[in-house]
Amino acid sequence: MSTSNQALANWVKDVAELTQADDIYWCNGSPAEEESFNRQLLEDGTYKRLNEETHPNCYLHLSDPRDVARVEHLTFICTNKKNDAGPNNHWMDPQQAHEKMDGLFKGCMKGRTLYVIPYCMGPIDSPISRCGVEITDSPYVVQNMRLMTRMGDEALRRIEREGDFVKGLHSTGELDPDRRFIMHFPEERVIKSYGSGYGGNALLGKKCHALRIASYQAKDEGWLAEHMLILGIKTPTGAQHYVAAAFPSACGKTNLAMLIPPQGYLQDGWEITTVGDDICWMRPGEDGRLWAINPEAGFFGVAPGTAKDTNPNALAMLYQDTIFTNVAQTADEQPWWEGLDDRVPAIDWQGRPYDPANGPAAHPNSRFTVSAKRCPSYSSASEDASGVPISAIIFGGRRASLVPLVNEARNWNHGVLMGATVASETTAAATGKVGVVRRDPMAMKPFCGYHFGDYWGHWVSMQDKADNLPKVFTVNWFRKDDNGGFMWPGFGENMRVLEWIIGRCQGTAEAHETAIGLMPKARDINTEDLDMDADVLEALLAVEVNGWQKENQSVADFLKEYGDRVPQELYQELKRSNQKLL
């Protein structure tokens, strides 16, 4: 196969010469091709077939033990000017980075096949979607990209029509941690990744394209590329709303994306659907609203902790047509991980007989890759070319104290400030210190492709591009009492907070103004059939003046780290909050 796009054809030719690949294969995305790759991966030992009776067409891949996660310290943004990358990124001079990477790629595919993967991020015919081409020497990457993107001939035809695409070059190399780099050239729309086969480093459509490159592209073109889930909420009256939400890791993002409401809500006629669990691209529409797509076609989820009681919708996806990476196995070759059930695994994630002395049976970052269409709550609106209109944007963190259950921004700029300064508190298990506040703006700290100050300024500028922007909220499911217990039940009960948020969007729910935003009274949250003391809910919605004065000083210190590129609108909103706290 070849292409009528001369730039693409020339690039593939140049890469084949540089890498000295034995063969070139153009992926077409067909079912026959998928079967062929599965056979190849089974034959060369990359895949192991799992129990066909319980998990038909499911495969297990065990990666190199030194290659199991994203490597942020080896991930670079290569802009012409260092300050454009910002203090939130590692920077390397583009010329130096290209020379370093081309030196690694030289001859690296000798004896291997070069696979060309044309892909589309988002529905093929959506004006919000963007295309890319990944060149890789990993059939495992091909199969994951098949599930995570719209990959193959249709994507190639769009690239040939439009002429524009992101170039991604990847090789597993020798899987040597000392020869491993992930380079992004946002001004060139180019990604180069070497030395890793792990998803976030090797599936270049995911974090590399859909966030780091796309966030820069979105700045240039007037839209937003965000690390957000998209949730559909249909009220008993039939009103359909969509919510985008950003959460740092360990804050229940996937659980919220696939939320199952309490029984009472289901009986009343509320419906929840899942458009996406990780990435959201939003563009101003002609009606002044933000319209969003999930640019991905699948889920690349963390397995440990996924269980019937925590996320039954996620678990239900994983019994067919799934790639598992670095999970354990039971004696009858079913996939297993910590938190799944009380069975004892037989084989651990390194292929050894399970021994608790060796640590967890499944790697803590073990993964599943599965088509989004397998999710029981999957929304057919995921394929709408126009996207879905966003009613509300939610930012969440993990705070054991101070931050209330829910809070609404006074205005768009205040919402940008809230998103820019969202934070989580560390745990003893993670850092040795409890309660250290780590800020993760818009949950984009590892993923923003340029200077955070400019990024926040771009968010502020959306007011000039759309006149019916979503309301902005923060939530915190993780407040603790004096005994260290969670005060809010979380999981499906988060529906009660979503109900208030939708009510605010519809103009039917009450709120009162506080120094930190618009908040519900305890009576405004539906607690029917919820076993919760009224004083606990009151505490979850209280504003502690002294604590917030200290918090705002911490916020001011944080913003100063980004210098004079921080938009003054954020400081103005912070000043307004401080004045109200006096």
Give bridge partners of residue 347 from the DSSP assignment: 329, 353
Residues constituting the chain? 582
Q: Is 251 a residue of the active site?
A: yes
Going by the annotation, the residues of the binding site for GTP are: 250-255, 367, 398, 491-494
Helix, strand or coil, per DSSP, at residue 438: strand
Give dist(CA 187, CA 2) in Å, integer: 27
Going by the annotation, the residues of the binding site for Mn(2+) are: 207, 227, 278
Give dist(CA 501, CA 499) in Å, integer: 5
**Sequence letter at residue 163:** G
> Who contacts 462 (Cβ-Cβ below 8 Å, separation ≥6)?
224, 284, 290, 412, 469
Cα Rg of the chain, angstroms = 24
Give dist(CA 488, CA 480) in Å, integer: 8
Give bridge partners of residue 61 from the DSSP assignment: 325
Number of H helices, E strands in the chain: 18, 30
Q: Are 325 and 366 in contact (CB under 8 A)?
A: yes
Listed residue (429, 511, 424) closest to 471, CA to CA: 511
Residue 467 tokens read as 């006149």
Q: Which of 251, 280, 448, 505 is catalytic?
A: 251
Going by the annotation, the residues of the binding site are: 70, 198-200, 207, 227, 249-255, 278, 365-367, 398, 491-494
Give dist(CA 280, CA 261) in Å, integer: 23
Give bridge partners of residue 486 from the DSSP assignment: 480
319: Cα within 13 Å, side-chain hemisphere: 10
Q: What is the distance, to the nearest Å, from the Cα of residue 42 to the centroid of all Cα atoms in its chain?
A: 30
Q: Are 76 and 184 in contact (CB under 8 A)?
A: yes
Catalytic (active-site) positions:
251
